[in-house]
Structure 1
Amino acid sequence: MAVFTQLSDDDREAISVAYGIAPLTSVIGIADGDTETTYLFRSQRGEYIVTLFENGAEPFDLERAFRTMELLSAACVPCPKTFRTETGGATIRLSGKLVAVVGFVQGTQSACASPAQCFDLGRRLAQIHRTLMPASPEKREGLPRGPIHGALFPDNVFFLGDCVSGIINFRLRHDDVLIAELADVLVRWTMLSNGALDGERAEAILKGYCRVRQLQDNERQALAAFALAAAATFIAVSEGSIDLRVRAENAFLSAQSLFAARETPIGAA
């Protein structure tokens, strides 16, 4: 069930003072959801996204998300600017709810990204993987494993023209096999109604990714299987079991075809 927490004048003042963004010129409620309430705060200093977490959020998770965005921003990955309290905290509590503040991200979301946008999306995904990768990465069955975004879906990415202007929602960051997130991005951004991946857009994501981080041979070999798993999960969660097997198999076959019949496969060194 959707929730929306109304902020009193005192609440707004408390937030703006805590994060050093006062005085405010306007406050607009811009979104509601099951787990958070979001506002746009405006002041003479700029525009800010203020999020009240209704449940399920822990200070540790938000602190980690802030540190992730700060690290990625330093590596030129477009992320919201983080704002901390005078004591350096990422969050405060207001009426028992966690509050966090980040800078407003310019751009728009894209439900059907163009090939050019997909290329830059792939490039940014690889930047995230490379930047967050530890010096001695773990491997699972020979596949590189490390920190991933965890929810790089269309509602968490903003574009200005052909370029990614902002990536948000790093609260779900966790460690996984890197090729699994690449497969998930291919499915979420390019899957057609029959389950197959749109070849032009999927290839653009792969080319963008490999421009920054080359895939190992075993990653290329494993991609189709991870695409099948990602497609099956997405279809089951969002649409139920209708044609699940056929559509997931189509995702598998189209992911396989991305590397077929090429003298120099995408992602080859």
Structure 2
Amino acid sequence: MAVYTKIKTDELINFLKLYDLDELISWQGIAEGVENSNFFIETKSDKYILTIYEKRVAKTDLPFFLNLMGHLNSNQFPCPKPIFNIKGKLLNSIQDKPAALFSFLNGSSVKNPSIHHCYQAGSYLSIIHKKSSSFSMKRKNKLSAEGWKELFLKLDNRINSIDRDLFSIITEEFKYISNNWPENLPSGIIHADLFPDNVFFEDNDISGVIDFYFACNDFLAYDIAIAINAWCFNDTNNLEIHKSAALLNGYQQFRSLDKIEKQKFPILVRGAALRFLLTRTYDSIHLVDGALVKPKNPIEFLDKLKYIRNISSFEEYINDKS
């Protein structure tokens, strides 16, 4: 979550008149995240999240995202519920930008996930895959192997100010991963951004999953690979195998990976690291002036990628010998 669009109280009050809500008590911007502008809204009787869509989120994709969250919510998955306005619409606008209102989820994210947190993250990821299998809408992953090329072509030697070898490493990895990316793995709807800051816990158990704005159709195992990158590395960006094993075991509690998925898993994890290295590098040199936002450090994923490219088997992610 983040704030790019700054709004005034009277603008918010006029927006909320579109909904059947109680009187506004308080509101504030939420600084975390990099994609959209988000605000915490409190009325006399309830709490909500207002999201204003911008940057990489295309308006044509919004029906997919909103209806997916509605589908999951109606199937008892703990995610934000899109709120219909008094005219039966999910999507409205503020300052000529699309905007939507959501139910508020209790809980908070964890900064340093434990083995238990990783196991739960894996199990809830498989539940997303299972419960979304009956969702009929589809969306292509614009940030999978094909989409990386567009970002790659927008980078140049300027990024070596971040790390002197960054451009050469990204070039090398882009070529290798593109040439070795798998085909025809089990596919479905994936979250594609299941980082710890997108998962809320209460009493050490998951209470909600947020930020479905990268959700799309792609390889299910690629979603797990993203989660490995997000949950299972320590502060020095080395893999903690007991955490990756917990996440994989949690996932396979509900869906077992097949032989080909396991065979291709190392390249999927490597590709996931490259994906976030590319987007974080791009964002770090294309900052929005005046935005209340905290850009994320690309060096984290450069270090992870250097580690991951030395892993050649699925077993190295799941066989905890400690």
TM-score (norm 1): 0.83
SS of 2:309 mapped into structure 1: helix
Structure 1 distance, partners of 2:236, 2:192, is 25
Contact 1:229 1:248 in 2 (8 A): no
The residue number in structure 2 matching 1:7 is 8
> SS at the partner of 2:101?
strand
Shift of 1:239: 1.3
Read off the aligned partner of 1:148 and give its amino acid letter: I
Q: Which runs of 5+ in 1 are unaligned?
A: 263-269
Q: Per the alignment, in what secondary structure is the counterpart of residue 249 of structure 2?
A: helix
Could you tell me how far apart the structure 2 residues matched to 1:118 and 1:260 are?
15
1:255/1:194 Cα in 2 relative to 1: closer, same or farther (>3 Å)?
farther
Structure 1 residue 162 and structure 2 residue 163: aligned? no
Return closer, same or farther for 1:42/1:240 CA change in 2, 3 Å cut-off: closer
For residues 55-204 of structure 1, the aligned pairs below 5 Å read: 55-133=55-133, 141-192=183-234, 195-204=237-246
Q: AA paired with 2:188?
A: G
Equivalent pair of 1:73/1:79 in contact (CA under 8 Å) = yes
Residue 61 of structure 1: CA displacement? 2.2
Distance change in 2, residues 1:180/1:54 (3 Å): closer
Matched to 2:194, the amino acid is L
> Displacement of 1:163 after TM fit?
1.5
2:248 maps to 1:206: yes
Q: CA deviation at 1:111?
A: 2.4
Structure 1 distance, partners of 2:241, 2:320, is 14
Find the aligned partners of 1:150 and 1:22 in 2 and give their Cα distance: 35
8 Å CA contact 1:153–1:189 kept in 2: the answer is: yes
Sort the Cα spacing of 1:5 and 1:239 in 2 relative to 1 into closer, same or farther, 3 A. Answer: same
- The Cα of 1:74 is off from its aligned counterpart by 2.5
Give the 3-state SS of the residue equivalent to 1:164 in structure 2: strand
Supply the distance in 2 between the matched residues of 1:156 and 1:261 (Cα, whole angstroms).
Answer: 26
**Following TM superposition, by how much is the alpha carbon of 1:244 offset from its aligned partner in structure 2, in angstroms?**
6.9
Q: Which amino acid aligns with 2:88?
A: G
Q: Take 1:206 and 1:240, find their aligned partners in 2: how far apart are those partners? A: 22
- CA distance, structure 2, for counterparts of residue 170 and residue 46 of structure 1: 22
Counterpart of 2:48 in structure 1 is 48
CA distance in 1, matches of 2:318, 2:32: 42
Query: Is the strand fraction higher in 1 or 2?
Result: 1
* Identity in percent: 27
Code of the aligned partner of 1:8: T
Q: 1:247 aligns with which of 296, 307, 311?
A: 307
Q: Secondary structure at the match of 1:83?
A: coil
Deviates most, 13-22 or 40-49: 13-22
* Bigger mean CA offset, 124-133 vs 22-31: 22-31
1:204-261 CA-partner distances (Å, limit 9, x unpaired): 11111011111112112221221222234445641189667641224x2575324559
Q: How much is the aligned-residue C-alpha RMSD, in angstroms?
A: 3.0
Equivalent residues, number: 258
Q: Secondary structure at the match of 2:208?
A: strand
- Separation in 2, partners of 1:100, 1:200: 39
- Distance in 1 of aligned mates of 2:104 and 2:249: 29
1:52 Cα deviation from its structure 2 partner:
2.0
Contact 1:53 1:98 in 2 (8 A): yes
Using the TM superposition, name which of 196-205 and 32-41 deviates more: 32-41
Matches of 1:73 and 1:207 in 2, distance apart? 25
Which structure has more relative contact order (CA 8 Å, sep 6+)? It is: 2
1:44-80 Cα shifts (integer Å, max 9, x gaps):
2200111223444444322221211121123322101
**Counterpart in the other structure of 1:265:** none
Amino acid at match of 2:315: Q
